[in-house]
Amino acid sequence: MKRISLTAIGKDRPGIVAGVAKVLYEHGCNIEDSTMTILEDEFAIILIMSAPEEMDKDSLEQGLKRAGEELALTIHTKEIGKESPEKAPHSTHLVTVSGYDKPGIVHKTACLLAKWNVNITDLSTKVIHGEGKDAYIMLIEVFVPGDADEKTIAAALKTLSKGLGVKIEMKPVETYESL
């Protein structure tokens, strides 16, 4: 099997997922891992798919080009290695950030996590516009290596939260799975 990544972005409207998925299905592709979301009025897709070795890549590209034109999407594909998806890091912890919006929250939080060799597996942010100051929420799924000192990382996040004037918490994922 071939493994292919696909990214697409364009103005949101009904039918985007159906249109892209139809082309993939017609070419024997299987969507294995995906994120599809609306950011303001833009719709974004990133996915990993498998495809039969004999699949005609040019035919797939032409089908996606037609779908992109019909749906006003910019679509990009890239063949990726055949590495097993089991090797991808899984989320072990959830980091939440909340407070008033200001520049640098993502950058400083991501730098701190990288310093401790913590891998970000998923990240989403949202600004909630209100009267006066805007509220900011960030949810980060992370993989904390087994040899990392979680208490030290949590203490560093607490120090960062004071410096940024926001609330930052890190909890193991299993805490949320038991709800």
**Can you give the residue range of the structural domain that contains 42?**
2-85
Query: End of a domain among 85, 113, 128?
Result: 85
The 10s digit of each residue's pLDDT in 6-64 is 999 999 999 999 999 999 999 999 999 999 999 999 999 999 999 999 999 999 999 99
Based on C-alpha coordinates, what's the Rg of the chain? 20
Total of domains in the chain: 2
pLDDT of residue 130: 84
Identify whether residues 58 and 132 lie together within a single domain.
Answer: no
Identify whether residues 122 and 171 lie together within a single domain.
Answer: yes
Identify whether residues 77 and 151 lie together within a single domain.
Answer: no
Query: End of a domain among 69, 85, 101?
Result: 85
Is 75 in a helix, a strand, or coil?
A: strand
Identify whether residues 69 and 123 lie together within a single domain.
Answer: no
Q: What is the mean pLDDT of residues 171-177?
A: 72
CATH of the domain at 113: 3.30.70.260
CA distances from 178 to 72, 118, 172, 173, 175 (A): 42, 23, 11, 9, 6
Identify whether residues 98 and 81 lie together within a single domain.
Answer: no
Identify whether residues 23 and 56 lie together within a single domain.
Answer: yes
Write down the pTM of the prediction. 0.79
Query: End of a domain among 21, 51, 85?
Result: 85
The 10s digit of each residue's pLDDT in 62-109 is 999 999 999 999 999 999 987 655 666 788 999 999 999 999 999 999
